[in-house]
Every structure is written in C-alpha cells, then in structure tokens.
Amino acid sequence: MKTVKHKILVLSGKGGVGKSTFSAHLAHGLAEDENTQVALLDIDICGPSIPKIMGLEGEQVHQSGSGWSPVFVEDNLGVMSVGFLLSSPDDAVIWRGPKKNGMIKQFLRDVDWGEVDYLIVDTPPGTSDEHLSAVQYLSAAHIDGAVIITTPQEVSLQDVRKEINFCHKVKLPVIGVVENMSVFICPQCKKESQIFPPTTGGAEVMCQDLKIPLLGKVPLDPHIGKSCDKGQSFLTDAPDSPATLAYRSIIKRIQEFCGHHPPKEEHLIGS
Amino acid sequence: MEEVPQGCPGTGSAQAGRGASCQGCPNQRLCASGAGAAPDPAIEEIKEKMKTVKHKILVLSGKGGVGKSTFSAHLAHGLAEDENTQVALLDIDICGPSIPKIMGLEGEQVHQSGSGWSPVFVEDNLGVMSVGFLLSSPDDAVIWRGPKKNGMIKQFLRDVDWGEVDYLIVDTPPGTSDEHLSAVQYLSAAHIDGAVIITTPQEVSLQDVRKEINFCHKVKLPVIGVVENMSVFICPQCKKESQIFPPTTGGAEVMCQDLKIPLLGKVPLDPHIGKSCDKGQSFLTDAPDSPATLAYRSIIKRIQEFCGHHPPKEEHLIGS
C-alpha cells in the first residue's frame, strides 16, 4: 500500500442504497483528470456489482510476476473484483466468512496496483467479515476514511447508525454521509416526490445528531440505473442531471478531505 | 470460534486437523479426532422443534435493499389477518435487523422460559424473533464474523419456543453466505417449502438474483417464485408512470421466463410503504386501496396456494 496515496472505504449498514453506484462514479469522477491514478476494489464477494457498473463484464484477470493485474477501464482507472474470477456472472459465490477473508487478503496483498492516488474500496452491506477484514488488513497502511451511503428513510438510517458505530469502534474516520434517492422529480409535471420518505428527518438530522458531515443529497434519476446497467459513467451520460451536479460536489468535498484540490476548474461551474 | 486459520480445510473435510494450516489452531485435536465431521446435533434438535411448524418460507435476494424485510413483514401481516392462522417471523439478518422496526416492535425484549425463548407478539397469532431484540440500543452495531452469526441462527431455530405455527417466514440478509448456508443447513432435516426471491427491475439487481437462484438450486431449495419490487412509480399529481429502476434487460419477467421460474407479481413504488415501515405499521391496512397493496395480496395468495392452502377469506379476492 506504500504506492497508494489515499484509501477510501465506501460503506453502508444498509443494502441497496447505492454504494457500488457511488463507488463507481467516485472512481469515474476522480479519473477524469488523466493525471490522477485511480483504483477501484470491489470486496463484495457474494454480490460483486462493480464489473457490470464499470462495463467490464467478461473481463479476465491476468497474473504476472508482480502479482495480479487489475482490469483497466481507462489508462488511469483500474478495477479488481471477484466478479472477474467467475466463469459466469450467474455463478453464485457461496463462501463462508473465512474464505471470503482469504480473498480480501489476496486482493489487498497480491494485486499490482502500481502508483495510485486514490484506492476506493467498495463493500457489501453490513458489519461483518468483509468489513472487519478490510479494516484489519489495511490497519497498518493509513485509511483516509469512510464514506457512508444511506437513503432517507429511518429503516436505512438505523442500519447506517450501526455502521457509523462500527467505524468508531475500529477507529476509522468518517469522511461524511451521502444521502441517495433523496427525491424524484417527475419528468412530466416536475412534481417532487419523496419515494423513501425521511420520516425522522433523513440523513440531515442524523448527521446533525452525530456531528458528522453530510456530503450531499443525490436525487433519484432513472438515467443512473440505465448507465449502471450499460456499464457507462452517468456523469458523462447525463452531465446536466441534478444528480450529476450532486455527485460532483460530493466528489470535490471528498478530495478536499483527502487534502487535494479539485483537478479541473470546470467541474465547479454548473454544467 | 471466530479466528479460523486462513487455510482451514473445513471441519467436515478429510483434511480436518491434519492440514498444514491446522497447526496451532485451538481445534486441531478436535478435528483430527473426527468429531468435527459428525453432523451437528442441532440439526436433529431443530427438526424436532420444527415439527410444530407446518410451512417454512425463506425470503431471499442476492441483492440488498430490494424489499426483502418489507416483503417478509407484509407476508406475515397478510397471512396473520386470518386469526386462525398462526404466523411466525424470524429475522436472521444479524448485522442489519430491520424487522423489529418494520413490525413496530422496537425496544421490545425477549423473555426466556423453561421451554425456550418466547418470541415477541405483534398480534396473538403473529410472533417475531430478531437479534434486534437482544441489543441494548438499536444503534448498537453487531460486528460478528461468520461463525458467531451461525451460532445465533442455530439458537434462533433451536431455542425459540414458537409453539404451533402454520407459517414460519425467515427473513434473510442480502447475499449468499454464512446466514443463508446456516439457515438451509439447520433446517435441512425439517422440510422447507421454498424460497421467495425478491428483486428490483434493473440488471444490476437481476444479476445478483440469478446467483441467489443458483444458490437455491445448489442447496436443493425449491423456488416458490420471484417478486419484482419497485416496478414503476406513479406520480401522484399527473399519474405519469416512471420506471425509476429501468428494466434494461426486461426485468424480472424476462429473467423468470429464461429460468422457467414463476413471477409471483410486480409491486409498484408507493411512498406509503416506506412511511408504514418506518412507523412499524402494516401497509396493507394503512393503504388498502394502493395498487401496491393489491399486488402484495395477490402474491400472498399465490404463496399460500403453493404451500397447499386456500386463501382464508374470500373478500381478499375482491378489489378493495
């Protein structure tokens, strides 16, 4: 990990809130600067979504003397996932904890990432083997922090508080919280609907209570789902979407936390 | 035992206790003696316990956040609307136990008696068990590795005094790992009617769901069918239908055709569902006219038919 400058974990207690979607687009956003080397590691062993979301289905991993080579989306954006080791995307990886831990250790130890500015680690939902292992194995190398993803409803926030609790227990700094699926704007009449109502004030109130930064709120946009299914960057597919603007603002805040300035000035201007 | 050596060949393997990675493991002697290869006695105990449980349904999904717990809770509510049907809901999501909140049972405690743990009752005929009831605070993180989670699931299945039950619904976490293997393993001697698989329409979900169906085939668990959640959203103002999670590859419908598995139904998005869940109330009674409620009721009826029962009340069939 000495050649990796910044390490960011993307976590959520809750499933289906957009961790992989966010991880992928954080990676895309950071890699838009050709001089920034980005690595995306998917440690969701049972449900590895990153290959699909990054348009890398069917790719194979190569092994060389210096270790496993990640699969490159761009020259400066490499990806590793257990998905690349499956013969078919429908193969179920039915492993118990110890075996999953072994794979995560291999990913962290044997992948030849090279010189990397940002390593983003996408995780499965929960607070179990994968999370403990990632933190444990990376404990000697400095982890910048965790970005926690949630949706507005209390059922999600409840699990997210547990995740934040986990971060405190393992002394993992929390960069902040992203609230996904905040509102939906009807394309016809522009009415805003809260599909996942924030009955207890959403991430905003939770972050105030826990004194943790709210990095941003991302509205629902059907284009996000489409881009993910097609394996393309939503940021380039739909540059004018309010969701894209929200993502870019969040990415900038994460970069600031990690001590960098945003690479390109035009990201700051509304697109 | 939480710290398993990395190369652990497995307690049931021929190499148990004899492999190079077994050196130094505290259980090496036990495994080498062959004791680890014997079937877990709990499996027989659970089989005995499950004799009073007529039907067992697992609610699964490879994918997180598709509505497993929401569905499990409302399947339980729907079945329990007939006072003569005894329903039990077991939440084996150890890390993210949502069932107490969704069932309005936060803060409830579990009681232990001579006959085992008592479930928490929502209604006289609807009992619930979850690790959530064992936490001192709902924000407490349960940070357990696989073996400890397996132990809890074994306890839930063996030590909870369910009594006479018509339907035991088991809500699971996302994935295909310890919890799922344990549930199937411990229930293996007692007959599991089948699994209901929940998905949302987009390919990123379906991909994980195909893995889950693959898992079911591998462990010989019958698949009752698939439920597609979050199908469409109908704008309350202009009634336009939006596909928020677009079915770029045909959604659950095409997947079910390909895999020759029944599609039990499609449930539209309705903000009332989220509200009811957060408040711990049954969405079926909160919003009886919602298209989502009608979809749920139709799906519940099909599950009952699969399990060999007729729907308990005729008026459920008439559009409300």
Torsion of CA B235, A191, A232, A265, to 10 degrees: -170
Question: Does B259 or A13 have the greater pLDDT score?
Answer: B259
Does A234 reach chain B within 8 Å, measured CB to CB? no
A226, two tokens:
């489409």
Give the other-Cβ count within 10 Å of B207's Cβ.
24
Question: What is residue A141's predicted lDDT score, i.e. its pLDDT?
Answer: 83
Residue B319 has pLDDT above 80, yes or no: no
Digit-coded pLDDT (tens) for B115-163: 889 999 999 999 999 988 888 777 777 778 878 888 888 888 889 988 8
Query: A131 to chain B nearest CA, in Å?
Result: 9
Using the Cβ of A109 and the Cβ atoms of chain B, whether some distance falls under 8 Å is answered with no
Q: Which residues of A touch B204 (CB under 8 A)?
A: 20, 49, 52-53, 225, 228-229
CB A133 within 8 A of CB A101: yes
What domains appear along chain B, each with residue ranges and CATH number?
A: 1-37 (no CATH), 41-307 (3.40.50.300)
- Cross-chain Cβ contact A196/B271 below 8 Å: yes
Residues B64, A124: C-beta atoms closer than 8 Å = yes
> Is the pLDDT score of B284 beyond 60?
yes
Which among B140, B235, B240 has the least Cβ separation from residue A165? B140
Q: Which among A13, A98, A225 has the least Cβ separation from residue B8?
A: A98
User: Would the annotation count B17 as a binding residue?
Assistant: no
Given an 8 Å threshold on Cβ–Cβ distance, is B238 in contact with A191? yes
pLDDT digits (tens, 9 = 90+) for B42-88: 888 888 888 899 999 999 998 889 999 999 999 999 999 999 999 99
Q: Which of B69, B95, B215 sits opposite A126 (nearest CB)?
A: B95
Residues 173..212 of A with a Cβ closer than 8 Å to B: which? 184, 186-189, 191, 193-197, 199-200
Asked if residues B171 and B59 have their Cβ atoms less than 8 Å apart, the reply is yes
Name the residue facing B95 among A127, A194, A200 (closest C-beta): A127
- Give residue B312's pLDDT: 31
Looking at B31-40, B91-100, B208-217, which range is the least confident one? B31-40
pLDDT at residue B105, rounded to an integer: 93
For residues A140 and A3, what is the distance between their CA atoms, to the nearest angstrom? Answer: 14
CA atoms within 13 A on the CB side of B251: 19
Query: What is the pLDDT confidence band of residue A162, given thresholds at 50, 70 and 90?
Result: confident
Residues of chain B contacting A155 with CB distance shorter than 8 Å:
69, 98, 101-102, 274, 277-278
Q: Which residue of B25, B136, B143 is the best one to mutate when testing the A interface, meaning the one whose CB has the most A CBs within 10 A?
A: B143
Was B235 annotated as part of a binding site?
A: yes
**Residue ranges of the alpha helices (H) in chain A?**
19-31, 50-53, 97-110, 129-137, 154-169, 202-210, 222-230, 234-237, 242-258
The ipTM (two decimal places) reads 0.83
Task: Name the residue with higher pLDDT: B9 or B295.
Answer: B295
- Is residue B295 within 8 angstroms of chain A, CB to CB? no
| 3-state DSSP of chain B | CCCCCCCCCCCCCCCCCCCHHHCCCCCHHHHHCCHHHCCCHHHHHHHHHHHHEEEEEEEECCCCCCCHHHHHHHHHHHHHCCCCCCEEEEECCCCCCCHHHHCCCCCCCCEEECCEEECEEEECCEEEEEHHHHCCCCCCCCCCCHHHHHHHHHHHHHHECCCCEEEEEEECCCCCCHHHHHHHHHCCCCCCCEEEEEECCCHHHHHHHHHHHHHHHHCCCCEEEEEECCCCEECCCCCCEECCCCCCCCHHHHHHHHHCCCEEEECCECHHHHHHHHHCCCHHHHCCCCHHHHHHHHHHHHHHHHCCCCCCCHHHCCCC
Position B224 scores a pLDDT of: 96
Residue B64 assigned as binding residue: yes
- CB-based contact, B245 to chain A, within 8 Å: yes
B67 is annotated as contributing to ligand binding:
yes
User: CB-side exposure of B159: number of CA atoms within 13 Å?
Assistant: 14
CA distance to partner chain B, nearest, from residue A17 (Å): 7
User: How many other C-beta atoms are found inside a 10 Å radius of the C-beta of residue A142?
Assistant: 13
Give A219-244 pLDDT, tens digit per residue. 999 899 999 999 999 999 999 999 99
